[in-house]
A and B are shown apart, each in its own frame.
Chain A
Amino acid sequence: MCDLSVPDTFYSIEDYGSSTARWCPGCGDHAILTAVQKLCREEQLPPEKTVFVSGIGCSSRFPHYMKTYGFHGLHGRAFPVASGVKFRRPDLDVFVVTGDGDCCSIGAGHWVHAIRYNMKMVVLLFDNAIYGLTKKQTSPTSHIGTISNTHPHGSVLPPINPIQTTLGLPNVSFVAQTIDNQPAHLYATIKKAYEHPGLSFVRIVQRCPIWMKADNEMLSDPNNVTLLNHENGIDLDPQVVKSFNNVINHDPSNIHKAREYADTKGSIPIGLFYQNKDAYRYDLYGAHNLGMTVDERIDGINGQLDRYAV
């Protein structure tokens, strides 16, 4: 039975698109942009109530291509800005867009505390394992032996594993990983992240077709991906699940197993590693100022101080 009910305002994908994305053709960022726009359309998020906060890097060009509110901030400071936005305006949907350099290098300090504060926001880590915008320097997540401008003979330190690191932080509540060439999984992960009450940390393994061409083949080979599947995990159509060759059953409530899988060698594990809906939310604790005007707040503060007036 066909039932065409048309809402008053319907936001289509184009309504969320701003200028044409200037990322290189073949860049994974396009896929993520499309997935996010699809989510906004699916959830019919009002553009004026949606905020995309970013730092610096290829990833952080994101807010420019979304026709919502956005904040393109300083290198490594996406988290503090986003936290401030959420704390002052808890009614807004806050998305944090950051890259492997922005989050895991200069922004590492803020990263730790943002996870701990667990305020409701969706964090998308665009991890292409290289500094792309600045033209090929080694990133904290580059695998050993990456040849770059800073390490012409190959990098020497083992990379940070953002999933493992996040799982080790206190009060962590949602950790997931996905990959740019699986659009169905990418979309489902971002959707689940959006629905989570708390800070959702999503690492998106993406390719850089210009600086990390050597990895293209590896990243697009479906045998190199392991799907973590569970009824409490990412909601995937069973047909999609069948298209994966490696599937592991993993209960997202089991943080120890999650840490084990985060260390998977020789395969990229994608799926929901860990979710805890009951972790403490700092925005619920302190973000109560919604609706108070500045004057009201000043009056309030003065009122408190007046009690100690001599």
Chain B
Amino acid sequence: MAKEISFSEFLKEGAFQKEAVVVEETIVAEKPIRIVPDAPATDKELKQFWKSVRHFFRTGERPEGVNGMLIPALLAPFLKAGNYTNDYPIFISKDGSQCKSLVNLIEEAFDASFVDDEAKILRANLPRILRDFKAEISREKHYVSFEKAWATAEADLQGVDVHGDKKKLYLEQIEKLKKALPANGFVLPFTDEAAFIMLQIQFENARVKREVLLADVKLKITSIEELLKANSKRKAEVGKGPDEEGLEFAENIINFKKVSEMLPTEGTQGLAEARVIRLKNVVEALKNGLEKWASFDANIIITEALYEEFSWAEILPKANFQRAGVNQGYQFTEDTFDAFIGEYATFIASYRIAALELKDAFKDDVHIDFFGHFSWHRLTADEMQHFPPVLFVGETHGFLKNNLDRFSALLSLNKPIRLMAVEKRLVNAPNPDINWEDASHGYRQELAAIAIAHRSTHTFQCALNQPLEVFEGMKKCLTVDAPSIMHFLIPDHGEVKLTEILKLSAAVEGRFFPSITYDLSAGNTWGSRFDIGYNPQPELNWPKYDCTFIDVDGEQKTQHLEFTYADYKAVTKEKADELMLIPESLKSNDLIHIGAYLQTPVDQLTGKVPFIWLVDEDNVLKRAALPYMWVVSCQERLDNWNYIQELGGVNSYHVKEALQREKAKWEAEKAAEQKAAKAESDAAIALAKSTAANEAMQRLTNVLLGLEDAPVPSAKVAAKPAAPAEKPLAEKAAKPTSAPPAKEKVEEEPSADAWLESFKCTTCNDCTEKFPHIFEYNEDKQAIIKDGQKGKFSELVLAAENCPAKCIHPGAPKNKNEKDLDEFVKRAAKFN
């Protein structure tokens, strides 16, 4: 009964907590995630410390002391109060068609009923519904019926104090919301029993469907009974002639015997004797079956260990249980299946016969033989749906350690038996009898991988932090027409806190327990059946997430961090205690994040130590060095994950190789094409250039010389470099340009004539003032050799030496008789 609470009050968070039962631990992080700087360390301290770090890396022995409360950095934001998950509690409808989180259900129903700002009061009160459901869950055991919990919630909502005329509208809105919600169903919380409760709900869903079948069976029974009754009544009536009593006076006139032979007989032919017997048998079988198959949901063979832990009779009330050790369990499963399936086949056969008979479609010549050799292999998939499953439940390590050959044998039988393995050990507990190194170097046996190797076994592996996926997967496993195995990661037995969900999620993220589906119904090819889509970021080695934190200098930064197997291990306190913290002041470049460490080639790893980021209870980031054994186990998990990725077609080696080959081929073709095209176009351009240039030059010259009408040669004339002495006119006609000609000039043979690179000239007046008979300016005020014949060679050399742009090239002397020629030729050498 809700107490009176004012409008403003119930918007405050704390208002609801008083009545709700709060079980979860809350680690409220007030401060932002940050790195806190340390006092700088001396070189000696650094050396000393790193000695101990390397020792720790090799041996796992770290200095004394407890590490305190530490969690992986990426998980820190999730540990705010109540922020663990919106997936639980989950709602499942009675027929199993709807399965979603309760929060989503309510939100969707609300959004469907009201638009925008409507129903503000109701919207504000929605958390009440959740709270009431949670209270109901904590009161009931195992699971809660939706109707019951909703009734409480509805009463609570209606009890809210809304003033005046708004009240009527408010109550109407509650009604509207109720209509949008389902009428009945189940609500499941997150507990260690969650997987089994889901099983129970699956059975309930199946039972609903089975009851349809059984109802039809009942109908058929009634119909056949009526048929038989009618038959027996008719048989009594058939064969009677006209009533001979009272007609004796006519004996001489009428031969009654003959008449009775001629008269038509009343009633129909009776049913054949064999048929009647058959019908009677069918009715018998159906009646027995009706009773039998409505009486239980499943046959469950369960290991001793598990049997003790849970109250099975309460969770799965209508299942038949058989306790067994693992080895016996395999035999029991096979035997139970054989026994029950035989009876079921008979039952279904009778049902089919009944159907045929009622339609009068039973053909003796065909059907007698058919049903004479009827075994369960003839049952259709639909018919098999209603067969209460035979299920063998045990713990994963039980299956792995006890006679795997029997496990394999059971799966190879190809009979549709179901196996359910639950894994509770969230961390590899090292066997204390085995040396630590040996234990860590060993590979984990993967149950799912072994199952898949049987090719016809439907396999589903998932952790309980993804309840919707688990429910759907479980449904398939229970109905597939082949042996199936489901493998779940569940929280350990006992008081289950919601932090356990984080651990399960971390197990999936850290690739400790990847989700695997090998769905036989998904297709005929191997690859199409295999799916790893339920995993976070399946295309990456480790999932990557952003970690925002405040750096030492107070700036906000974001790191893109990988969540590795080591991070998952560090979720457990005992494991986190194995690590060695590295203070900020003693960090070094030899510290590499484990994700990068695993990708680095071995020869570059000398002296490097891997680490992961953890935060303490104050939200301060700390680096934690990993011992070598952790590296080994990380690598092992990564190897397993890569194996699974390839199976799922992600990062597939063969696909990549094929792509590479295709790419190389395509690129080679393209390159060849491009080369050919370029060669073509280059040739075309060259041709166009030379013709166009020549034409233009000729035209220009013509115009300036007043020869507009002169013909323009279009033949290819090799353009000569501008030799100034020969073509002063062409020089003037040339467009003033500061672009230099091609560099090739430098490599040419030293020209005998003196020449000048005018574009380099800086107009310094040096050569033009000293030797005006040789040099003058062109239109751009840059020097040209106006007459190479005039002037002495010595003058050319002097000009070249003085020229600041070094653009004068004296060439070879024209006059061999000049004074001191040898000296000047020597000095000219470097300018030619």
Contact = CB atoms under 8 A, between A and B. Distances in A.
Interface of A: 1-2, 4, 12-13, 21, 23, 25-28, 30-31, 33-34, 37-38, 180-181, 183-184, 186-187, 207, 209, 216, 219-220, 237, 239-240, 242-243
B763 A183 contact: yes
Contacts of B802: 26
B700 A242 contact: no
A33 B699 CA distance: 34
Please give me the 9 A-B residue pairs with the lowest Cβ-Cβ distance, nearest first.
Answer: A31-B762, A34-B763, A26-B766, A25-B766, A34-B781, A25-B765, A181-B804, A30-B764, A25-B769
Contacts of A31: 762-764
A21 B765 contact: yes
Contacts of A240: 739-740
A219 B764 CA distance: 15
A38 B777 CA distance: 14
B732 interface: no
A25 B805 contact: no
B804 A180 contact: yes
B770 interface: yes
Interface string B764-797: 1110011000000001111000000000000000
Nearest to A26: B766
B759 interface: yes
A180 B762 CA distance: 7
Contacts of A216: 804
24 contacts: A2-B696, A2-B703, A4-B703, A23-B765, A25-B764, A25-B766, A26-B766, A26-B802, A26-B804, A27-B764, A30-B763, A34-B762, A34-B780, A38-B781, A181-B762, A181-B804, A183-B761, A183-B762, A184-B740, A184-B759, A186-B762, A240-B739, A242-B743, A243-B743
Given A30-B765, A34-B762, A207-B804, 14 more contacts: A25-B764, A26-B764, A27-B765, A31-B764, A180-B804, A181-B804, A183-B759, A183-B762, A209-B766, A220-B805, A237-B739, A237-B740, A242-B743, A243-B740
Given A13-B781, A216-B804, A28 B762 contact: yes
B193 to A, nearest CB: 65
A220 to B, nearest CB: 5
A237 B762 CA distance: 18
Nearest to A12: B779
B762 to A, nearest CB: 4
A33 B764 CA distance: 10
Nearest to A180: B762
Contact of B743 (A34, A181, A220, A239): A239
Interface string B699-724: 11001000000000000000000000
Nearest to B779: A13
B764 A28 contact: yes
Nearest to B699: A2
A34 B805 CA distance: 14
Interface string B25-49: 0000000000000000000000000
A220 B764 CA distance: 13
A183 B738 contact: yes
B762 A13 contact: no
B760 interface: yes
A187 B769 CA distance: 23
Given A13-B781, A34-B781, A240-B740, A25 B770 contact: yes
Interface of B is mostly: loop
B806 interface: yes
Chain B interface size, under 10 / 10 to 19 / 20 to 34 / 35 or more: 20 to 34
Contacts of B700: 2
A21 B764 CA distance: 10
Contacts of A1: 696
A38 B246 CA distance: 151
Interface of B: 696, 699-700, 703, 738-740, 742-743, 759-766, 769-770, 779-782, 802, 804-806
Contact of A34 (B696, B739, B740, B782): B782
Contacts of A30: 762-765
A220 B803 CA distance: 9
A57 to B, nearest CB: 18
A37 B781 contact: yes
A26 B765 contact: yes
A58 to B, nearest CB: 13
A78 to B, nearest CB: 23
Contacts of B779: 12-13
B812 to A, nearest CB: 24
Contacts of B739: 237, 239-240
A209 B803 CA distance: 11
Nearest to B769: A25
Nearest to B768: A25
B700 to A, nearest CB: 6
Contacts of A28: 762, 764, 804
Contacts of A207: 804
B805 A181 contact: yes
Nearest to A1: B696
A243 B806 CA distance: 14
Most buried by A among B740, B760, B761, B804: B804
Nearest to A42: B736
Contact of A38 (B699, B780, B804, B805): B780
A125 B804 CA distance: 20
Nearest to A187: B738
A31 B762 CA distance: 5
A108 B139 CA distance: 89
Most buried by B among A21, A34, A183, A242: A183
Nearest to B806: A220
Contacts of B763: 30-31, 33-34, 183
Most buried by B among A21, A23, A25, A37: A25
A218 to B, nearest CB: 12
A190 to B, nearest CB: 12
B766 to A, nearest CB: 4
Contacts of B769: 25
Nearest to B746: A243
Given A25-B770, A28-B762, A220-B806, A239 B740 contact: yes
A186 B764 CA distance: 14
Contacts of B766: 25-26, 209
B706 to A, nearest CB: 13
A30 B765 CA distance: 7
A239 B742 CA distance: 8
A185 to B, nearest CB: 10
Nearest to B741: A239
A176 B300 CA distance: 88
A27 B805 CA distance: 12
Contacts of B804: 26, 28, 180-181, 207, 209, 216, 219-220
Nearest to A31: B762
Contacts of B743: 239, 242-243
